[in-house]
Structures are given as C-alpha cells and as structure tokens.
Amino acid sequence: MQWQQEKNLQDVELRDQNRPDTGFLSWSNYIKKHREDPSQRYQVAQKFLPWPLGFKESVLALRAIIRDKKKADVDYESDLLSLYHLAAWESFCPKQCESIDEPAFKIFDQIPGGVVADLEVDYQQLGYEQLKLVTKTDAKMLVSLYGEPKQHSTLKQLYAEVWQQAEQDYLDRLKKSEPAEQLEEASETKLKYGLSTASRKYDANGQVIASQKSPSQAEKHIKARIRSSQKAAQETEKEDRYSAMVARGKQLSGLVVQALRERRLIKERVLNGSLKNIKQTLANKKMVTVLGASCLVMTRKLRSHNRNK
C-alpha cells in the first residue's frame, strides 16, 4: 500500500512493514542506488513517504522522467502533475508545531496519507511560489501549461482547520495511550492506536531524535554540585602542580649556579694546584653531581698539567 492510499491509523501502523529491507544501506542510499533508472527510483522513493527525503527523491525521479520524455518529444503532463501534487502534499506539513513545541513532522507522520491526498489541489489557489519542492524550471513548465495562478499559498494555509484537527487528534491519542505522569517514560516500541512512532521525537528534517528522560530539579542540583566540586579539585590540582614546578625550577637554578661556581674553583685548582688539592676541594664541598662536561674538561687539563711537569 502506498502512502497516498492510507485511510486509517491501522494503515499508519503497517507503514514501516511495507517498506523494503535496505540491508546494510541507509534508506537514503538505498533510494540512490536506482539513480540511473528514474522509474524504479520513483517507485522506491514512494515507499518512504511521508519522510522529507521520500518527497525529495520522488520529485527528483519525476524530473528525470520529464527530461527524458521532453527529449523524446513525448507528452509529460501527467508526470508534471504528479510532481506538483507531491510538492503540494509536502507543503501541508509546517516546520514547527506551536501547540506541542516540536517539529510538525511528528504529527504529519501520524496522519494517514489518504487524508492529505484527498485534499483538493487547485493550481489557481495554491500556485507555486511557496512550494519549496517546485523549482524555477518546474514553474516555467506549469505556467506554460496552465498560465499564471491567481495566488500563491501552501496546502497547510488553505486547509488550516484540517491541520488543527490533526493536531488535536494526535494529542488526544497521546493522552489516551499514556497517563500524563508516565508520558516521559513511554516506550518507543509500543504499538497502540497508531502510535508506533508517536512517542518519538523528530528534527525539522524528519530524523528520529533519541528520547531522553528529563532530569528532576534535585538531580540537576546534585549534578551541579558534583561538577562544581570536580572543577574546584581540578583547580587545586593545577595550583599544586604549578607550585611544585616553580619550586623545582628554583632548586635547579640554584644547582646550576652552584655547579658553575664549583667548576670555576676546580678549574683554578687544576691550573694552579695538585691532584691532592682537587680531591680535597671535592671532599670539602661534598659535591654529588660534578662530572659531565666539566669532568671531561678537568681530566684533560689534569693530563696536560702532568705532562708539562
């Protein structure tokens, strides 16, 4: 059953079961697999209505069919009308629903497709400027066939009372299916009264947003205190590390100065004294770290001094 043929909530429940198995591919990539075959692409895209990309892919497939027919000089009016109807049906869903402060697709997805398809699509009243799926090229073809319309609107604006009734029906079903105090804990897998996807949240593009239970005020307060304590501990740890680093730097600086002084004293003893005096100097100063480069210089000077004796 196609989306346009749905008549009741039971048909809405069966919608997901009628969609093809895409395997490891996402449904968008599954549709695009048939890009080279516009007719097949259109048939597959129809299975994914009323998702936004289902409408978009259906319209793209119809444009490809129209281009092929124009090249072959074949009549394409029926395909253009199908494209126009898809754009009109898509315009029945606004971006945001003020009554529940959520993306309107959440309600649109729960309306049987036949209810939307049965709304009269009058080109003279609906026009094309406010239909986002109609391109400039599509508009030129429509005008060439039917002339300029009297006005431009959307299906939602023309049938505002139908949309309002759909909102109310949705809220009524939601209240019946879950008591008010348990709405936040509703299971997303529950199938009842056409609410197989009613408990899900959607973004503006119709993508499902993972539901999360809102934390209580007490939980928020506890989490805030934990974050504050963790932040204070991190700041204290940073200060301790910085103090230790400064102290270590001062200590190393003192050792460097001391080493330079001892090196100079050793150098004088090497040039002007004996090996016994050098050993005595080292013992008196109790140097723990001496050698390295300074030790190498001292040894060479000592050998040179002994050879010259």
Residues 167, 248 within the same domain: no
Residues 199, 92 within the same domain: yes
Please state, in angstroms and as integers, the Cα–Cα distance from residue 59 to each residue in 55, 176, 268, following that order: 6, 37, 94
pLDDT tier, 204 (very low <50, low <70, confident <90, very high otherwise): very low
Give mean pLDDT, residues 164-171: 90
Give mean pLDDT, residues 98-116: 88
Give mean pLDDT, residues 263-275: 61
Lowest mean pLDDT among 35-49, 163-177, 213-227, 285-299: 285-299
Residues 225, 286 within the same domain: yes
Residues 12, 109 within the same domain: yes
Cβ neighbors of 83 (< 8 A, separation 6 or more) are 59, 62, 63, 66, 133, 134, 138
Instruction: State percent of the chain over pLDDT 70.
Output: 61
Q: 209, 241, 260: which is the final residue of a domain?
A: 209
Parallel, antiparallel or unpaired: strands 208-209 and 201-202: antiparallel
84 φ/ψ angles, rounded to the nearest 5 degrees: -65, -40
Residues 151, 201 within the same domain: yes
Residues 200, 225 within the same domain: no
Residues 95, 203 within the same domain: yes
Q: 156, 175, 209: which is the final residue of a domain?
A: 209
Dihedral angle over CA of 172, 178, 184, 185, nearest 10: -160
Residues 27, 125 within the same domain: yes
Residues 156, 46 within the same domain: yes
Residues 55, 103 within the same domain: yes
pLDDT of residue 38: 92
CB atoms within 10 A of CB 99: 12
Residue type, 104: A
Number of domains in the chain: 2
Domain hosting 257: range is 217-308
Residues 278, 204 within the same domain: no
Give mean pLDDT, residues 116-143: 96
Q: 165, 188, 209: which is the final residue of a domain?
A: 209
pLDDT at 304 over 90: no
pLDDT of residue 251: 73
pLDDT of residue 119: 96
Tell the burial category of 210 from Cβ atoms under 10 Å away from its Cβ (0-12, 13-18, 19+): exposed
pLDDT of residue 187: 42
Residues 202, 225 within the same domain: no
pLDDT at 13 over 60: yes
